């Protein structure tokens, strides 16, 4: 009887813990929490828009994208939004896409990409400031 009571208490504890955990996982707006850039991702469905899967596999474009990505991740003053900017290199031109928190972050990303690419003329910025 003693073990049965303990087992029951343990099962009750686990089920209560599961309910609390499940309630914390639910977004406050009815279960649909859109990402900040969900609507912007719609433009990537246009075949004329460069996407990461369209990046050529030549060594120079891969190296260029890698240099830009390293420069962004290395800068710890940038937000996680900025660290997650899409970097697409095609024929020596770098396209930057995604949201950031401020104009200063946007400018910092563009400057780092231009430095890695060899000039601002090799950067196509499609970065949006999320707070605007």
* DSSP H/E element including 125: strand 123-129
Cβ contact 121:103 at 8 Å: no
Q: Is residue 94 part of a domain?
A: yes
* Share of residues in the chain with pLDDT > 70 (%): 58
pLDDT in tens, the chain (132 residues): 666 767 667 676 666 655 545 555 444 544 444 445 555 555 555 556 665 555 567 888 889 989 999 999 999 999 888 888 999 888 888 999 888 889 999 999 999 999 988 899 999 998 888 765
Domain CATH number, residue 97: 3.30.1340.30
pLDDT score at 33: 40
Domain count for the chain, please give it: 1
Within-domain flag for 18:
no
Note down the domain range covering 98.
Answer: 52-132
Q: Is residue 39 part of a domain?
A: no
Contact 56, 93 (CB under 8 A): no
Residue 34 domain flag: no
- % pLDDT > 90, the chain: 24
For residue 122, is it within any domain? yes
Q: Residues 56, 61, 66, 72: what is their CA dihedral angle, to the nearest 10 degrees? A: -100
């Amino acid at each position: 009887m003693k073990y049965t009571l303990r087992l029951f208490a343990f099962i009750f504890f686990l089920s209560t813990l599961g309910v609390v955990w499940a309630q914390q996982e639910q977004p406050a707006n009815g279960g649909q929490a859109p990402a900040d850039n969900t609507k912007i991702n719609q433009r990537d469905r246009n075949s004329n828009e460069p996407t990461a899967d369209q990046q050529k596999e030549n060594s120079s474009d891969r190296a260029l994208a890698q240099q830009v990505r390293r420069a962004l991740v290395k800068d710890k003053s940038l937000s996680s939004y900025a660290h997650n900017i899409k970097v697409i290199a095609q024929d020596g031109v770098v396209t930057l896409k995604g949201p950031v928190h401020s104009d200063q972050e946007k400018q910092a990303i563009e400057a780092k990409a231009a430095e890695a690419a060899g000039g601002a003329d090799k950067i196509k910025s499609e970065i949006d400031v999320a707070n605007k």
